[in-house]
Each structure stands twice: as structure tokens, then as C-alpha cells.
Structure 1
């Protein structure tokens, strides 16, 4: 008897890559680091759920903010299996807070560099 991936895990690596705007190697990278999750078919092919492309698109935004892939995976660990709009809203709040904190820290570093002090003493 052949066992297939659950019905919710139907998307191939190529489909997720196309929907998220990344290469297939990037999909596998994000899977390896826990940003997306796949089930394996009886033929050992990866199958992703409908949230995989969204997770990758959000991860790309988070990386531009400066978060590491590990930090992103930790944030996504809080998401339920089938994320709803309010769940993504909480992720957005977290990313906004991180972006604001990192922006404030960068501004403080810029101010310090403009202060006239020797750089090695900052």
C-alpha cells in the first residue's frame, strides 16, 4: 500500500519556489532551518502546505530587517499549523518591534560615530 503526504501537504518544491519568488535551493534551505516544513511522499518527494510560500515571503522581509533565519524560525514556531490572518498579524507586530529596536540601535551607533570620538573607542 502506498502512503502519500496528507492532503494539506500538496505543493512541490518548485511550486513553493515559484509562489515565493525564490530558487528551489532556497526552499530547501528554509526547510533545513525550520522556516517551512515538508512531509515526504512514499517516493521521498517533499510536499509543502499552503502556508510555505507565505512563510518564505515573510522570512525574506524579516531578513531585510536584519533577523537571522534562526530568529525567523523561532518566531514561526509560535504559529499554529494552519495560520490565520490574526496569527500573521502577531508575526507582523513582532517584526515591526524588531525593526524599530534595530533602527533605534543603528541611529545610536550613527550618533556615536558622528560624535567625533575615535572609532576604536566607541
Structure 2
């Protein structure tokens, strides 16, 4: 069982993000800190891994809501199998976005000029 002993600053350093990003992810429920008696947040090592996954999902173009859905059902202390499932879902989302972008490129480079007005319109 993991202990939640990392401060916001510790987690930010371990995850290579700003402390404000840690607070943002915590505020939006993407990671979950525990409060000390002094009302300071503490996080575990699993939260650093979650942030790494969140950052990849953001680079793919996923919104906070989509990332939350991606992480839904993930236990507080995920196993390698749990992470593999998340990885598969993230790869599928990335591929879907690539396909959408390729379709947009096809629209831009196809035989019909973008915003071409047909001569049949009078």
C-alpha cells in the first residue's frame, strides 16, 4: 500500500510539471490528494504516474472531461494490467484523432478547392 507523503512541490518535481498543474489536476479530480491535519495536500507515487498519463492525454488533445473518463475505474493503486488497459484506450483515442486530422487534410488537399463556389450557383 502506498503512503501519501509527497507534497505538491514534490509531486510537481517528480512529474516534471508546475505546482499549479498539480493543483489543477487535483481540483478537477484527475488525481486525489489527502489532506494533513495542517490542511496540506499529500500525494503518492501513483499520482506521479497518473500525471504522466494525463500529460500524454493532453498532448493527444483530450479535454479534462475526456481524461477523467479515460481514468474512470482506475484503482487508487493501479496494477500494470490496469495501466495497460488505460494505455490501450489512450492509443485508440490518439488514433481516432489522427484519423480525423487526416480527413481534414484530405479536405484541404483534395481536388475541390477549399471554399470554391460552383459556377452552377447563380
- Normalising by structure 1, we get a TM-score of 0.87
Distance 1:19 1:118, change over 3 A: same
Number of residue pairs matched by the alignment: 115
Find the aligned partners of 1:33 and 1:62 in 2 and give their Cα distance. 15
Task: Pick the structure with greater CA Rg.
Answer: 2
Aligned pairs (5 A) from 1:1-122: 8-120=3-115
Post-superposition offset of 1:118: 4.6
Find the aligned partners of 1:39 and 1:55 in 2 and give their Cα distance. 15
Post-superposition offset of 1:90: 0.4
Task: Write out per-residue CA displacement over residues 15-51 of structure 1, whole angstroms, 9 at most, x where no aligned residue.
Answer: 1000000111110011111111011111000011221
Following TM superposition, where does structure 1 have runs of at least 4 consecutive aligned residues deviating by more than 4 angstroms? none
Q: Which runs of 5+ in 1 are unaligned?
A: 1-6
Find the aligned partners of 1:120 and 1:75 in 2 and give their Cα distance. 37
Question: Residue 42 of structure 2: SS of its match in structure 1?
Answer: strand
Q: Which runs of 5+ in 2 are unaligned?
A: 117-122
- Normalising by structure 2, we get a TM-score of 0.87
Contact conserved, 2:8 with 2:19, CA < 8 A, in 1?
A: yes
What is the alpha-carbon root mean square deviation over aligned residues? 1.5
